[in-house]
Amino acid sequence: MINEEMQPFLKWAGGKRQLLPKIRRYVPKQYNTYYEPFVGAGAVLFYLQPQKAVINDINAELINVYTVVRDNFDQLLPDLKTHKNEREYFYAIRALDREPEYRDLSATKKASRLIYLNKTCFNGLYRVNGKGNFNVPFGRNKNTKIVNEPVLRAVHTYLVSNDVTILNVDFAAAVSGAGEGDFVYFDPPYDPLSDTSSFTSYSKGGFDREEQLRLRDLCVELDRRGCKFLLSNSATDFIISSYAERGFTVEKVSAVRNINSVAAKRGKISEVLVRNYDS
């Protein structure tokens, strides 16, 4: 049964809440295992709520949060409730990953820290510097709700009640077991619309056009295996031509983006949905 309280509990760049009405039109009616190699905040996962899934993200801190929500929920919840939406406290918690002792923090403490920072930082942005340190400033929103217990509990219940594998590997490795009858949804870091619009700092690495082409080639391989895939990306000529030339269906859609350091750059943008099957 679908739990309507299931929804993203983090705000994440590229989140798919706004695009869900369009995505759900193309979700196959039947499939075996659901794969999501770039799970992010999990909007599509939490909408579909598949009984068998493999979710993955290259961001180890994010994957730790999912693992802790599943395995240590009873310890996470009270720790989250100790946090304060105050500037001085925020910067003290943010600075923890700059200290050698950070690696000795428990998985639960690290998960609690990331959820807290996500809720109280500027515009809910996740960004790290070249050393992998979280560097988003304080958000100054006095009405921020740090703990959304019903949503967190719903996510916990889903993860422990279903066959959901949680991975922190390369996107190609995440779908190594995908075969005929499975469904893969790809939501990679988007190809930048301009030289100055790129935002790929979810981890210390990036996601350049070489990676985009590696992903395209993986889609070709999945198609050969008999998997159905749906992919979202920005509507650049590069992305459109890369998939269209391989015979995949490419449809332009519009979406609203609410995460950008410059307020004027938030709003509607063109995206594409790519698939290898009929709607």
> For residue range 250-259, what is the model confidence (pLDDT) as tens digits?
999 987 765 5
Q: What is the pLDDT of residues 87-126, one digit of tens each?
A: 999 999 999 999 999 999 999 999 999 999 999 999 888 9
Query: For residue range 152-211, what is the model confidence (pLDDT) as tens digits?
Result: 999 999 999 999 999 999 999 999 999 999 999 999 999 998 765 544 444 455 799 999
Query: Using one digit for the tens of pLDDT, what is the confidence trace for 187-203?
Result: 999 999 876 554 444 44
User: What pLDDT, on the 0 to 100 scale, is given for residue 70?
Assistant: 98
pLDDT in tens, 218-270: 999 999 999 999 999 999 999 999 999 999 999 999 877 655 545 544 567 78
Q: pLDDT (tens digit, 9 = 90+) per residue, 6-27?
A: 999 999 887 787 889 899 999 9
Length, in residues, of the chain: 279
Residue 138 has pLDDT above 50, yes or no: yes
- Is the separation of the CB atoms in 253 and 261 below 8 Å? no
Amino acid 15: pLDDT:
73
Give the residue from 11, 21, 12 showing the smallest Cα distance to 273: 21
Span between the terminal Cα atoms of the chain, in Å: 24
Is pLDDT larger for residue 141 or for residue 33?
A: 33
34-65 residue pLDDT tens = 999 999 999 999 999 999 999 999 999 999 99
Between helices 73-80 and 60-71, what is the axis angle to 10°? 110
Per-residue pLDDT tens over the stretch 63-96: 999 999 999 999 999 999 999 999 999 999 999 9
Decide if 189 contacts 233 (C-beta within 8 A): no
SS (H, E, C) the chain: CCCCCCCCCCCCCCCCCCCHHHHHHHCCCCCCCEEECCCCCCHHHHHHCCCEEEEECCCHHHHHHHHHHHHCHHHHHHHHCCCCCCHHHHHHHHHHHHCHHHHHCCHHHHHHHHHHHHHHEHHHCCCECCCCCECCCECCCCCCCCCCHHHHHHHHHHHHHCEEEEECCCHHHHCCCCCCCCEEEECCCCCCCCCCCCCCCCCCCCCCHHHHHHHHHHHHHHHHHCCEEEEEEECCHHHHHHHHCCCCEEEEEEEEECCCCCHHHCEEEEEEEEECCCC
Crossing angle (nearest 10°) for helices 209-225 and 237-244: 30
Task: Give the pLDDT of residue 206.
Answer: 76
Q: Encode 57-86: b = buried (16+ Cβ within 10 Å), e = exposed.
A: bbbebbbbbbbbbbbbbebbbebbeebebe
140, pLDDT greater than 80: yes
pLDDT at 205: 56
What per-residue confidence (pLDDT) applies to 202?
Answer: 46
